[in-house]
Structure 1
């Protein structure tokens, strides 16, 4: 029988490896940024076109590569980071697999320019689908510039699986945030389609967070510092009142490497227990420093998951550190039976002598006598002078005669009779008092129908009513807005501002009025009629959350996303009591909709039970 096992060609093996390493343009950005950091760069520029589908370029001022290294860097498992298997347990660099550049070169057009400081000329290499097209000497500044063009050009199926530009750009920004937060000592800039998205100068960790997520973030941060033999924790957590609906501001860094850990995230949630509303997530930016020998990074192709030797100890230290910081900065309530700060002596009265108050009572005081001047021996004097009550008896002189006269006059008063018009409403009064709907547990509305009974979910039903109303107003551009007495100013991060800018026109059609829309600040002077001013920031945060998780592709409109998000935020919630009139109005409004049977998220709004169903229950 002939042999059937054979070695794969290198270009095929590279494409298979690319399937693990390069999932989308953001994967390329991550690998190239990490290579630039490992090269000792102090300045890194990221240039993106068409969300990375057309161009991803990284320019750094690192140490560069020699001609031989530049050529060898595109070979499989070629790396300068490790020499033996033991090096895997003492890693202090980002990349070490040696698969990144080989995998990227197998599925894109790559152009590399690099030069070391001591060299006069650099090297330029062009590769298309693992095939080297040219290699020549070039004049270039110190460092490395690598451009990745036409990603997945030779794998059309993979390219078709890419999402819309908005989705892919969001993933690229997420990777940019993770790398730039881990290295505040490096300057980063990012350009997308020719416009500058981020400009992050070299700074401390707190300033780096503020530069990325907006100036308003500064007041939300609580520092966390703890150092033990096992773990060193440093960074910041967000105050509970600024918790968010999404997990977009949750960052763990282990030895300057971003990781995802549901177990450690649970430790943070445990520290915030009882301080946040349900459905909210705390913000945190925490750096964990551990011995490299106690972790295993090489368990996931993207290196975002780490295996710890002793997770339980890390959990306890992390939870107690965050809890201590929240208590230390008076964020969390502290239970202390020994001292109450409200009973502390004010600073001005600390050295004054305590004197017992004395009160003297004049037992011969008569309120109907003319008041005499107060005695000087009294410790307390009245702050006002009481008017004399002399001749109070004159108030009652002639009362009897006046009373008889007023009684006679009162008997002669005639009242103007009002016409009775109750008969106009007698026929409808019985109908109004008759209750047609009932509310069950402040969540479901029960109404009778000819065939039996209708049970309606009030939250989903109201979502459907609001959704169709918002769509109609947005499409017809006839929404009514109410003007605010004082403009409302809100601050968002750069990425959130980009989302809001794309939705600005649709928001204006729903009734929002913006007077300023620049940098990280928006100013609102008008809101839709049914939106309370106090909930505007919550509604916009929910909209941003929905847009980040469900950014519409080309076959969906942003109007539909906006209507879904606003209807979800504005709809009455389960547990809210409704009057009979409100219940009936909701039922009537729902069945006036085009699609009353499902909510905007395709969930059932009502069910029916026929009389036969009830009969079967009693059989």
Structure 2
């Protein structure tokens, strides 16, 4: 007898279930996407036992006719593909036809559906992949799918599920994602004991953001919008592409970016508050995450993460969504171009906004205390708040859904898409958003109340500051018509020097000073290897150094302002980066890292008295910088105690 045999449909479905149905949240994701593809405008999700006992999703979509309802449980039966060419232009969230048969093979499933063309609906019961009952039923137009006893016939899979609260938190985060991406649809999420999320139809993405996360978070978000023509950016336009009638992507050949990015003062401890959608599809993509990291480089600390709600729209032929069974990973045809477009769009928006940190919020909303924007699934005495929305909080025991909860990508993860190795020849330097693009910046149509009571917290007012003096010879106190400002003199000078070094480095006019006697610095073997690798970049930043023995270097010249012990510390810092990270570090990251280190060690220190002329010079130079928000390492530079805050504190208003 031969060794090779064909698997039964039941076994094949259970194997597919292992890829598609990882946990209860995976079931919710597949069914939600089917509801959205069906044109539903109202979705209700009910959960019991963290999804083990019950998952019920009811929608008001177009439903299914009786024959289609039965056919939907056949493997690879789908209404969304006809030929292999359709795989190149997928404009729906689901398309493989694996979800329903896979879910039905590991649960007890009941389908209730009716199409508008039929007078009665259809009810189907399936257990473990076996159809138990099919009969007509009086039902409204739409579809309701009830999943009970998930993994009842695969106890090994059930054993690996986490606690009920953990699984429920994954589902809550997932529904929150899709509610953010679809403001024109009504979402409800209910557990056995409480209403976790109620999100009525909202007019815009800005309204939905405000609706779910509230005034405090939305006031710290900067709306951005940009659009660019692939052809004018020097990239060939893709062939004609197909789409469903109700899908409204950008014009053929265009890439549209829209969304909201956090001001630097709003930081998180993980990436759970980064929401990325491509053509309405929730994804986790290392290329986009790396672009976000680069956009915030030298603006927030490397161990912190921003809050981002990002929508990318492009012709379906520009993105391959058929690279992962769960459809959560994608591959872009023009990966380097899209990476740079996202990075530069956000960077430009942050430069334009120049947000200022509020003094009181800096005291009460430190980044360390704020980890995520996940919906809290712990029991609440009063259920939800008065608006019907669960308060978005975080419990460190319950990680976010898999979409964005893994550790941040290392340099190794992104080495594959550096500009040098990109499949598409990039245009020289950074993208310039001119002829083929819409200007980047605020989205004026946004209805988010960016600041309470119409206040505009930006750092454009730095040029009007009148210094009062120093506090503990470390902080500059200044005033203007907006209120009282406190400026950290060290990080302010650090930002000024950092941008000056990068400008001079760009035109190869870095100022250096020759030492009277060469300075000898002893290094470890690993640091000597790093020195050999960084010698050229160090020279371009004003250093003149050479080996002086097996473990010593002789420094003959250094950047202006860097001397003595600070010079030695700066070199030790630059050369102590782990070798693995240095090997995959791209040129720009290396350049900014060295510039940031030079600026930090050359800057004015705390506990240093400053003359009035020096204070005036420092504030004037800070006002001229591109990013007066934070130092290159992410620490805030200036805090403002607004006039209204002062009046409120003294009970004047």
TM-score, reference length from structure 2: 0.53
Distance 2:68 2:302 in 1: 54
Distance verdict in 2 for CA 1:35–1:235, change over 3 Å? same
Matches within 5 A, 1:183-332: 183-203=182-202, 204-230=204-230, 231-331=255-355
Alignment of 1:464-543 (within 5 A): 495-499=374-378, 519=385
SS of the equivalent of 1:48 reads: strand
Q: Deviations over 1:38-95 (max 9, x none)?
A: 1111101101111100000010001010000000001101000000000001111011
Alignment match of 1:548 (pick from 398, 407, 412): 398
What is the Cα deviation at residue 332 of structure 1? 8.6
Structure 2: how far apart are the matches of 1:312 and 1:32?
33
- Aligned-residue offset at 1:15: 0.6
Q: Which residue of 1 aligns with 2:638?
A: none
* 1:372-383 paired onto structure 2 within 5 Å: none
Structure 1 pair 493–45 and aligned structure 2 pair: CA distance change class (3 A): farther
**In structure 2, do the counterparts of structure 1 residues 87 and 196 end up closer, same or farther at CA, with 3 Å as the change threshold?**
same
Deviation at 1:218, TM superposition (A): 1.6
Task: Give 3-state SS (helix, strand or coil) of 1:547's partner.
Answer: coil
Instruction: Answer whether contact 1:26 1:175 (CA < 8 A) is retained.
Output: yes
Q: Describe the superposition over 1:290-311 as per-residue Cα deviations: whole angstroms up to 9, x where unpaired.
A: 1111211111001111111111
Higher Rg: 1
- C-alpha distance in structure 2 between counterparts of 1:520 and 1:300, whole Å: 41
Counterparts of 1:148 and 1:520, CA distance in 2: 31
SS at match of 1:214: helix
C-alpha separation in 2, matches of 1:54 and 1:518 = 23
* CA distance in structure 2 between the aligned counterparts of 1:495 and 1:103, rounded to whole angstroms: 29
Between 1:142-151 and 1:310-319, the stretch displaced more is: 310-319
**Structure 1 residues not aligned, in runs of 5+:** 334-485, 505-515, 522-539, 552-619
Kept after mapping to 2: 8 A contact 1:240/1:276? yes
Report the CA distance shift for 1:295/1:175 in structure 2 as closer, same or farther (over 3 A). same
**2:144 pairs with 1:145:** yes
2:277–2:311 CA contact under 8 A, matched in 1: yes
C-alpha contact 1:245 1:545 (8 A) present in aligned 2: no
Question: For residue 24 of structure 2, what is the aligned residue in structure 1?
Answer: 25
| Pairwise CA distance, 1:519 | 2.8
Over 3 Å counting, the alpha-carbon distance change for 1:491 and 1:252 in structure 2 is: closer
CA-CA distance at 1:487 after TM superposition? 11
In structure 2, do the counterparts of structure 1 residues 252 and 159 end up closer, same or farther at CA, with 3 Å as the change threshold? Answer: same
Asked if the contact 2:269/2:372 (under 8 Å) is kept, the reply is: no
SS of corresponding position for 1:188: strand
CA contact (8 A) 2:260 2:308 kept: yes
Over the residues paired in the alignment, what is the CA RMSD in angstroms? 2.9
For the residue of structure 1 that corresponds to 2:87, the secondary structure is helix
Q: Relative to 1, partners in 2 of residues 1:60 and 1:517: Cα closer, same or farther, differing over 3 Å? A: closer
Tell me if structure 1 keeps the 8 A contact 2:169–2:376: no
Q: Residue 115 of structure 1 contacts residue 122 of structure 1 at CA under 8 Å; is this kept in 2?
A: yes
In structure 2, relative to structure 1, the CA distance for the partners of 1:518 and 1:132 (3 Å cut) is closer
Taking the aligned partners of 1:324 and 1:332, their CA distance within structure 2 comes to 16
* Matched-pair contact (CA < 8 Å) for 1:214–1:492: no
1:24/1:498 CA distance change after superposition, 3 Å: closer
How many residue pairs are counted as aligned between the two chains?
365
Q: How far does residue 546 in structure 1 lie from its aligned partner after superposition?
A: 2.6
Contact kept, 8 Å, 1:113 with 1:146, in 2: the verdict is yes
Given the two structures, how large is their TM-score scaled by the length of structure 1? 0.56
Alpha-carbon offset, residue 163 of structure 1: 0.6
For the Cα contact (< 8 Å) 2:128–2:153, is it kept in 1? yes
Q: Secondary structure at the match of 1:62?
A: coil
The superposition leaves residues 271-305 of structure 1 with CA deviations (integer Å, 9 ceiling, x where unpaired) of: 11222134210111010011111211111001111
8 Å contact kept, 2:270–2:371 = no
Residue of structure 2 equivalent to 1:587: none
> Cα offset for 1:252?
1.1
Matched, 1:165 2:164: yes
- The aligned residue for residue 121 of structure 1 is 120
Cα distance, 1:147–1:192 mapped onto 2, change above 3 Å: same
Distance in 1 (alpha carbons) for counterparts of 2:105 and 2:336: 42
- Structure 2 unmatched ranges of 5 or more: 231-254, 358-362, 402-653
Shift of residue 494, structure 1, vs aligned partner: 8.2
Maintained 8 Å contact 1:497/1:520: no
Partner of 1:480: none
> Residues 518 and 55 from structure 1, CA distance in 2 versus in 1: closer, same or farther, beyond 3 angstroms?
closer
How far off its partner does 1:496 sit? 4.8
Contact 1:259/1:304, CA 8 A, preserved across alignment:
yes
Instruction: State whether residues 194 and 383 of structure 2, in contact with CA within 8 Å, keep that contact through their aligned partners in structure 1.
Output: no
What is the aligned partner in structure 2 of residue 13 from structure 1? 12
Aligned-pair CA distance for 1:118: 2.5
- The structure showing larger relative contact order (alpha-carbon pairs under 8 Å, at least 6 residues apart) is 2
- Cross-structure match for 2:98: 99
Q: Which residue does 2:34 correspond to in 1? A: 35
Deviation at 1:144, TM superposition (A): 0.5
Distance 1:4 1:205 in 2: 56
Shift of 1:493: 8.6
Distance 1:127 1:111 in 2: 6
Question: Which residue is equivalent to 2:630?
Answer: none
What is the CA–CA distance in structure 2 between the aligned matches of 1:189 and 1:240, rounded to whole Å? Answer: 32
SS of aligned partner of 1:288:
strand
- Taking the aligned partners of 2:328 and 2:260, their CA distance within structure 1 comes to 21
Q: Distance in 2 between matches of 1:254 and 1:487?
A: 35
Matches of 2:346 and 2:364, distance apart in 1: 36
